[in-house]
Amino acid sequence: MRYRIFSYLLLALAILNLADYVLTLRALSWGIPEGNPIMDAAIDLGLFHLVKAALPTALLLLVWLFSDRIRRIRPSIILFLGVAVLVYAGVTVWHLYGQFIKLG
């Protein structure tokens, strides 16, 4: 059961990360400035795609590949992943609000 929750959390993070990437690209194309100073610096350095899409995807893939070793400490990993999912869900809701409700 815990492994299933672990898998769902990883999948949710991957989907939310993709949504954040696409919605951020859309906002940037409309001329909306990036609100995260770290991502703003990545944009200035030309590293946006690497930092926003490739790096999180690679980290999630590594966690998945090494999940057999992580099982021993899974309650804390599940908690961490759950918090990350909540943060990404909040960011996604913020994007959706800003792009579809506030801006129309």
Q: Please return the burial class of 55, using the count of CB atoms within 10 Å of its CB with bins 0-12, 13-18 and 19+.
A: middle
Give residue-wise pLDDT tens across range 66-94: 877 765 666 888 899 999 999 999 999 99
How many angstroms separate the CA atoms of 49 and 43, rounded? 8
- In the chain, what percentage of residues exceed pLDDT 70? 90
Task: Please name the amino acid found at residue 19.
Answer: A
Give residue-wise pLDDT tens across range 33-51: 888 899 889 999 999 899 8
| Degrees, nearest 5: CA angle 103-26-19 | 105
Total-model pTM: 0.82
